[in-house]
């Protein structure tokens, strides 16, 4: 089986080339060809000796996940479905804006955490993605978008992806080693050269892994909070039963010592009548009083049989005002790509409910 070179960061690729009896600079050359030039055919790596190219053809490959389909939303949002084998798919979303292009990257096939408002959890958990499958999403997006003009300016950019958020399918910190290796490639100046401030990992609150990330690869951190107290969060974000809010807030404070930004972003999906009331906003103010942070409020994106509804605009306004009056920075996420099911919480929304959550809820309601 050929070795997929997208599985390696530069140190790993250098070690692999050393085993082949090749000098370290050859690894840098190939790394540059793969990531900066988007070349997967060794024959096109023209500054590499023909004998090495022939050796690589026999022993290696550069293979990103295959594209099953690609859709473009009316607002310019792009979504790719990648085939990762055995009827498994992962989704990646690119959100273009005037001043940046953000790629939302998946880390797992499905998700084991079963947050009740998230459609990805419906399919249950299949497996972790490899490094090649994670970085391959950026590889495909970066090199395909480089040939397309900006929708606003009409210009073609050699760096269309300026920001990466690990907020796609899966819990990134549950696939720790592969995600950290992929992050290293994103940050490497020989590859994509992204700033730590422009790469964000989102977690539902895996506290020990948050501490490890701070030591190994401190990038910007977003925490999927979604509730202001343990009783409610236990219901909608079940990992809270293992790592309750007191431990999570302490982990956030520890992370900030190493973080490239001086705040934590708290993601908060607003569910009508569940977590969107004024008392919930006031509880959030108290909960985060000692954690420098900003809030990103996300109106729930409905999907079939979710059991939740989108909040009213007035509820969103009042909730946001309470947070702002307390001195917190608050943004409200614009819904992007919902016509192609690329909006937050909609990834893989049409897959089968392998977790059985819908049937469980229906039986409970019928009892």
Q: Which residues are marked as active site?
A: 91, 344
Nearest-5° angle of CA 76, CA 163, CA 262? 135
Question: Which residue, chain included where needed, has tokens 């030039």?
Answer: 37
Specify the length of the chain in residues: 367
| Contact between residue 105 and residue 171 where contact means Cβ atoms under 8 Å apart | no
φ, ψ dihedrals at 243, nearest 5°: -125, 85
Give dist(CA 172, CA 141) in Å, integer: 19
Give dist(CA 285, CA 266) in Å, integer: 12
SS3 content of the chain, % helix, strand, coil (to 5): 40, 20, 40
SS3 13: helix
Token pair of 174, please? Answer: 């549950």
Give dist(CA 288, CA 161) in Å, integer: 32
Token pair of 3, please? Answer: 């070795």
Question: CB neighbours of 313 closer than 8 A, spacing ≥ 6?
Answer: none
Nearest-5° angle of CA 333, CA 91, CA 130? 120
Question: CB neighbours of 128 closer than 8 A, spacing ≥ 6?
Answer: 107, 108, 109, 170, 174, 175, 178
């Amino acid at each position: 089986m050929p070795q997929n070179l997208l599985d390696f960061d530069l140190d790993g690729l250098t070690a692999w080339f050393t085993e082949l009896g090749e000098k370290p600079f050859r690894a840098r050359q190939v790394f540059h060809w793969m990531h900066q030039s988007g070349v997967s055919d060794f024959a096109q790596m023209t500054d590499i000796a023909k004998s090495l190219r022939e050796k690589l053809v026999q022993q290696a490959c550069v293979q990103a996940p295959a594209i099953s389909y690609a859709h473009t939303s009316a607002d310019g949002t792009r979504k790719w479905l990648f085939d990762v084998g055995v009827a498994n798919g992962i989704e990646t979303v690119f959100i273009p804006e005037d001043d940046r292009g953000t790629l939302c990257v998946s880390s797992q096939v499905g998700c084991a955490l079963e947050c009740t408002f998230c459609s990805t959890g419906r399919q249950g958990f299949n497996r972790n993605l490899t490094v090649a499958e994670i970085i391959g999403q950026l590889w495909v997006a970066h090199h395909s978008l480089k040939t397309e003009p900006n929708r606003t300016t009409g210009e073609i950019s050699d760096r269309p992806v300026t920001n990466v958020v690990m907020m796609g399918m899966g819990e990134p910190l549950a696939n720790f080693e592969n995600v950290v290796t992929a992050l290293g490639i994103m940050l490497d100046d020989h590859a994509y050269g992204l700033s730590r401030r422009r790469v964000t990992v989102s977690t539902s609150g895996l506290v020990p892994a948050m501490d490890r990330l701070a030591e190994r690869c401190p990038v910007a951190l977003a925490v999927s909070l979604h509730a202001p107290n343990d009783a409610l969060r236990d219901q909608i974000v079940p990992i809270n039963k293992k790592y309750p809010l007191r431990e999570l807030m302490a982990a956030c404070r520890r992370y900030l010592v190493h973080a490239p930004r001086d705040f934590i972003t708290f993601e908060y999906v607003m569910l009508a009548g569940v977590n969107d009331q004024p008392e919930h906003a006031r509880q959030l103010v108290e909960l985060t009083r000692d954690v420098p942070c900003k809030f990103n409020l996300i109106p729930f994106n409905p999907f079939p049989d979710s059991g939740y509804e989108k909040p009213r605009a007035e509820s969103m306004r009042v909730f946001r005002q309470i947070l702002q009056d307390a001195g917190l920075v608050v943004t409200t996420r614009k819904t992007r790509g919902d016509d192609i099911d690329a909006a937050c919480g909609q990834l893989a929304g049409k897959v089968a409910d392998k977790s059985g959550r819908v049937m469980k809820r229906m039986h409970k309601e019928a009892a």
